[in-house]
Amino acid sequence: MDRVTDWLLSGPPWVEYRARVDLLDQPEDDPEVTQARSAMLEHPQVRTLIAALGEWPGPILKSHKSAGHLLHKLVFAAELGFQADDPGISNIIHLIQAHQSDEAPFQVLVNINPRYGGTGEDQFVWMLCDAPLILYALSKFELGDSQQIRKATEYLVGLVRENGWPCAVSPALGKFRGPGRKADPCPYANLLMLKLLARFPEYHASSGARTGVETLLSLWEQRQERRPYLFAIGSSFKKLKAPLIWYDVLHVTDALTQIAWARDDARLRAMIDIIQSQADDDGRFTAGSVWRDWKGWEFGQKRAPSRWITLVARRILKRVNL
């Protein structure tokens, strides 16, 4: 083990747990892994996170960039490694499954002003900027073989167009869509769909996945000319930030490097180079930007290297043999 790995293993139990599994390839039944996982489940910060998710669906989702919304807390809990039989998770799953649309995707609670094509009332709906995240989390909870999840995933996959996934929403929202040209792909929707499809190996070589990958890489390549749905690729995109919530270099490369055939693409390697260039002399990574709603977590500050961000970056580098 190198110094960075030792440093990760000496951090919070959720970092140690994921480092042992993701970087050291220790099996889940290894005594060191089970000990770290048990410590994670009992950690006050993690228990508070799970308790909050027990209030699903929580407040109205006003913006998909609302980092403190339960949608993003759900994804982070899944990425820590929670499973359906862990304390509190079965109840959360039950609350999510209580709101499944007729089309199949699961729903969140929103209230969209009539000026933007909404009803002005609280309603359960889905959009391509939230539905893939719920399915992703449920699959991480080891429910990937569920018929509900498979059906919903297949429905979302079917929405892809020749230039990638568009800004697609529940029929209940009528003509509502994001601020962009209807014919354009939505960068965030493509990111979230690839994040979801990475969970299912049978989709990796599918036409939908190939289209989505090419869409994201083309947007990177044409970043000076194209800003579909106001998603620009500038200095903010290149800053390291956790959890993985929005459209940025860490989130995009984390999704794309999980699809093996995309790893050697020069455009993806250029993004990875940007991440690598931000390591300090010891190979550690520091947040370049933070979410205020996560300021209590060790990655919620820019003063010192973050173990969690370092873990995410090292995991990406490991996938491409760097």
Tens digits of per-residue pLDDT, 190-249?
Answer: 999 999 999 999 999 999 999 999 999 999 999 999 999 989 999 999 999 999 999 999
3-state helix, strand, coil in the chain (%, to 5): 50, 5, 45
User: How is residue 165 annotated by DSSP?
Assistant: -
On the 0-12 / 13-18 / 19+ scale of CB atoms within 10 A, 14 is buried
**What's the half-sphere exposure (Cβ side, CA atoms, 13 Å) at 291?**
19
Asked if 190 contacts 164 with a C-beta cutoff of 8 angstroms, the reply is yes
Continuous H helices in the chain: 3-9, 13-18, 31-42, 44-53, 70-80, 89-97, 131-138, 147-157, 187-197, 207-221, 249-256, 266-276, 307-319
Higher pLDDT pick, 142 / 205: 205
User: How is residue 183 annotated by DSSP?
Assistant: T
Give the pLDDT confidence score for residue 322 in this predicted structure. Answer: 87
Task: For tokens 């339960």, name the residue.
Answer: 70
Give the pLDDT confidence score for residue 176 in this predicted structure. Answer: 85
d(Cα 187, Cα 167) in Å, to the nearest integer?
Answer: 9
**Minimum mean pLDDT range among 8-22, 175-189, 303-317:** 175-189
Task: Give the angle 271-136-312 at the CA atoms, nearest 5°.
Answer: 40
Query: How large is the average pLDDT for residues 53-82?
Result: 97
Tens digits of per-residue pLDDT, 89-114?
Answer: 999 999 999 999 999 999 999 988 88
Beta bridge partners of 108: 125
1 pLDDT more than 70: no
Average pLDDT score, the chain:
96
